[in-house]
């Protein structure tokens, strides 16, 4: 018996009667429509299920609850540790220090020149504790607009700067001022010196005299009678004392 001749196109006979090509597609004339949907294989289904399981594990691992409705959070689940500066800084034992705000102020008196050419005391509020520099700066700032309207004035030039030689030694305050103060002359100079002497000896306990420096160089200053002194005191300027 002779062997059957091979089918055209190298097709194989399907047990159901249809001709199926070697590549798995339906043979021409078999009656099956091209492009017909193929069911996923077992391997494809397994991969899809594994992806879903992995995604669920990642969501659960991030601490995100799985649910379709809002639910209350227990006290134990709230991350209060985020409020701990040491925990948020990333460094063991690290802390954050905030400098405290201080609102302490001190009222003191500075002396201005009244229309009658005598001194008059007015109040100023400065940070507490006050020091020699802050007192001098308040004095150099001069009168307020209200005080100026009342005829009060300051004879210290507003461009005057307090320099580094300013200090207190025993009962004498050394006042080191910039060259602007050295430009004063005559009655204006005497009044400016009196302003400084009365202000410093009145506000700083234990200070009885004031020595002057101009840009770091010691300077003798005139009294009301014209005599020069190295250390000025209230008694020497009594003629300008408040009435």
What digits encode the pLDDT tens for the residues 22-57?
444 444 444 445 555 555 566 555 565 656 555 555
Six token digits for residue 104: 């302490």
Assess whether the previous peptide bond of 129 is cis (omega < 30° from 0): yes
Judged against a pLDDT cut of 50, whether residue 8 lies above it is answered with no
Judged against a pLDDT cut of 80, whether residue 105 lies above it is answered with yes
CA dist 232 and 229 (Å) reads: 6
Q: Considering the entire predicted model, what is its pTM? A: 0.59
Judged against a pLDDT cut of 80, whether residue 178 lies above it is answered with yes
């Amino acid at each position: 018996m002779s062997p059957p001749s091979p089918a055209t196109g190298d097709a194989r006979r399907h047990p159901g009667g249809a001709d199926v090509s070697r590549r798995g597609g339906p043979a021409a004339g078999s009656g099956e429509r091209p492009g017909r949907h193929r069911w996923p294989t077992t391997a494809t289904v397994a991969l899809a299920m594994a992806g879903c399981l992995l995604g669920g594990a990642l969501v659960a691992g991030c601490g995100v609850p799985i649910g379709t409705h809002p639910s209350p959070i227990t006290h134990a689940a709230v991350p209060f540790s985020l409020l701990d500066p040491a925990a948020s800084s990333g460094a063991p034992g690290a802390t954050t220090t905030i400098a405290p705000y201080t609102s302490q102020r001190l009222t003191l008196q500075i002396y201005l020149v009244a229309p009658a050419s005598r001194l008059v005391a007015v109040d100023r509020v400065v940070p507490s504790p006050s020091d020699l520099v802050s007192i001098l700066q308040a004095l150099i700032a001069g009168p307020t607009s209200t005080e100026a309207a009342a005829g009060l004035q300051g004879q210290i030039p507003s461009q005057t700067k307090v320099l580094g030689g300013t200090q207190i030694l025993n009962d004498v305050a050394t006042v080191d001022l910039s060259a602007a103060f050295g430009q004063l002359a005559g009655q204006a100079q005497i009044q400016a010196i009196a302003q400084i002497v009365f202000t410093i000896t009145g506000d700083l306990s234990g200070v009885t005299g004031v020595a002057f420096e101009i840009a770091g160089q010691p300077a003798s200053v005139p009294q009301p009678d014209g005599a020069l002194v190295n250390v000025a005191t209230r008694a020497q300027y009594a003629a300008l004392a408040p009435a």
